[in-house]
Each structure stands twice: as structure tokens, then as C-alpha cells.
Amino acid sequence: MKCKRCRCKAEVQLRHHNSAFCRDCFFLFFERQVQRTIERERMFTPEETVLVAVSGGKDSLALWDVLHRLGYDAVGLHLALGIGDYSRSSTEKTEAFARARDLRLLTVRLEDDGVGVATVTQFTNRSPCAACGTTKRYYFDRVAVENGFAVLATGHNLDDEAARLLGNVLHWQLPYLAKQRPVLEPNHARFVRKVKPLYRVMELETAVYAFFRGIDYVVDECPNSAGATQLAYKDAMNRLEVAMPGTKLMFVQEFARSAQPAFTAHAPTGTPGTCERCGMPAFGAVCSFCRLVGEVDARRAGRRRAAGA
Ligand code: SF4
Ligand SMILES: [Zn+2]
Ligand SMILES: [Zn+2]
């Protein structure tokens, strides 16, 4: 198998692009793909500093690496989620990555605020992923706004987007389809623009990129991800991709280009107000994160009372 670009020995085959590349040409191909996506979707400009949400996994570290190499000023944001050894290892890998490249990293330990995922799950009836999702969304905006960033980039890849799209279509989640875009503009002064520069890049490509670049990332999945419905959608999309290479890319790309505008009328109407407890955006008097914290506090107080009685 020969590299499509330079004709030397190829190291990676990308069936969905009907291509194969040697290592150096793959780097070029990967970086160009990301650069083109950023420019075409007007995600951010070289003058803006980008906050990159980094979990310690291959996608987010590959994203941070490639943005840095493309010359963007990219600062990392890592949330230490408080999920036992998985979180400890994620934080270690993220901090080591930043140190080795002399990159600026903001780390927020949710446990320090009493809202680690394990703690919240223990004191509420929420599932770990529901608690985690609410908390992550909240801290992404809050840390970005408080530190003066206008844009937050996440490492969602093509496989994530295809699985999410499949789930939204199977259940005809019209409001979610209306919001499934690679760029989400803020509709409140304390929200920031959210962008997904890897949304056209397959998970296989980020894995190869991370491997070729020698990025040391967390290989283990979060222990709470087992059995998640998202994995069933990913599995279904993988089968289609094997039978028909290019399916994921076409599904996601054509949705964004052609179908997505048909759903915009179903976007939730009205702009959010302001949370009376924390000042962040809220639909209602209190934002969903403060409601979560309220539940934890109430349950904690109840248990203390019961223990003291
Ligand atoms: S699997 Fe669930 S708990 Fe684990 S990081 Fe993802 S959303 Fe959070
Ligand atoms: Zn080559
Ligand atoms: Zn709030």
C-alpha cells in the first residue's frame, strides 16, 4: 500500500477517504482537515485565544496538540471529575501533556467545590452521567467567562457526532436536532461560543494521530460509560461504516449542510434569564447546576440530621 501523496510506503489506510498515507503525509492531511473545518465553519480566528476542554483522552489531547501546532493560542481546561482512579489518571496525563509542551492549563477539581461526580451521585437520585453532564456544561461556561475566553473547543469527533445524530433521529428529538451544529453561538452574556473542530475527523484518525505523535492519553473508558446508549449507536454506525466506508462522514456532513436548517424552527425559543444564586444563565429562577447543588445540600443535611437523631 502506497501513500497517496508521496508514493512511499503507507502506514495508515483511511477507507472513508479512499486514501492511505505515510506518517508525515498523514500529519499534513490531519492538520489540513482541522484547519479547513475551523475556517469553513468560522469557529475562531488566529487572533482569538481558544479554551480547549481536555479530559485526558486521545481526542481532546489530539485537538489541543493540533491547535498548538497550527499556531493557535490554545489554553487547556481540565475538570477533575472526582470519579476515583479514572479521574486521577486523567488529571495526571493532562498535566503531564501540558508540562511537556509548556502549555497553559486550568484545572478545576470538582471535589474542591463538593460536586465531584461520585459525591453528587451518592447524594441525589441522578445517574452519574446526568450529574456529570450538567456539571461539565456549567463549569465550561463559567471558567471560560471568568477567565475572559470567548470560545470553547471540545474534542467531539465524527464518531461521537454520528452516534448522537443517529440517536436524535431514531427518537426524532427535534429540539436536539435543531442544536446539533459544529458551532453554537451564545445566547447569553455568560455563555461562550462552543465549537467542535474534530467533527469531521474519525475516531480512528485521532487515535492514529495520538499514537504517531506519542501522546500519552488515558486508554481506559470512564467506569460509568459501560452500557451507555451512546455506545449502542456507535456500534451500529461502526457496522454501517465497515459495510459502506464513508457512511459516518456523509451522514454527519450532509446533515450539517442540507438537513440541519430544516430543524432550526424547533430550537427552544426564548433566551435564558440569570440564575438568582450564581449569576449564570438559567431557564427559571435557578440554573440547573444550582438545582443540583441544592439537592446535594438538602440530602446531606437530611443525613446529618438522621445521624444525629
Ligand atoms: S461516562 Fe458519564 S460519568 Fe463518565 S465522563 Fe462520560 S458523562 Fe461523565
Ligand atoms: Zn507520504
Ligand atoms: Zn446557578
Q: Please give the mean pLDDT across all residues of the chain.
A: 95
Distance (angstroms) between ligand 2 centre and the Cα of 245 equals 22
Atom of ligand 1 nearest to the CA of 225: 1
Q: Is the pLDDT of residue 285 over 80?
A: yes
Residues in the chain: 309
Q: Is the pLDDT of residue 117 over 90?
A: yes
Query: pLDDT by residue (tens digit) across 9-56?
Result: 999 999 999 999 999 999 999 999 999 999 999 999 999 999 999 999
Q: Which residue has its alpha carbon closest to ligand 1 atom 3?
A: 129
* HEC-encoded secondary structure of the chain: CECCCCCCECCEEEHHHCEEECHHHHHHHHHHHHHHHHHHCCCCCCCCEEEEECCCCHHHHHHHHHHHHCCCEEEEEEEECCCHHHHHHHHHHHHHHHHHHCCCEEEEEHHHHCCCHHHHHHHCCCCHHHHHHHHHHHHHHHHHHHCCCCEEECCCCHHHHHHHHHHHHHCCCHHHHHHCCCEECCCCCCCCEEECCCCCCCHHHHHHHHHHHCCCCCCCCCHHHCCCHHHHHHHHHHHHHHHCCCHHHHHHHHHHHHHHHHHHHHCCCCCCEECCCCCCEECCCCCHHHHHHHHHHHHHHHHHHHHHC
Distance (angstroms) between ligand 1 centre and the Cα of 244 equals 30
Q: Cell 475556517 belongs to which residue?
A: 39
**Which grid coordinates belong to 280?**
449564570
Provide the pLDDT confidence category of residue 167 given band limits of 50, 70 and 90: very high
**Residues with beta carbon inside 6 Å of ligand 1?**
117, 128-129, 132-133, 222, 224-225
Distance (angstroms) between ligand 2 centre and the Cα of 14 equals 13
Cβ contact 296:213 at 8 Å? no
b vs e for 220-252, b when ≥16 Cβ sit within 10 Å of the residue's Cβ?
A: eebebeeeeeeeebbeebbeebeeeeebbbebb
Q: Which residue has its alpha carbon closest to ligand 1 atom 2?
A: 129
Q: Cell 475527523 belongs to which residue?
A: 201
Query: pLDDT by residue (tens digit) across 64-114?
Result: 999 999 999 999 999 999 999 999 999 999 999 999 999 999 999 999 999
Distance (angstroms) between ligand 1 centre and the Cα of 84 equals 12
Global confidence as pTM: 0.95
Ligand 2 ion: Cβ-proximal residues, 5 Å cutoff? 3, 5-6, 22, 25
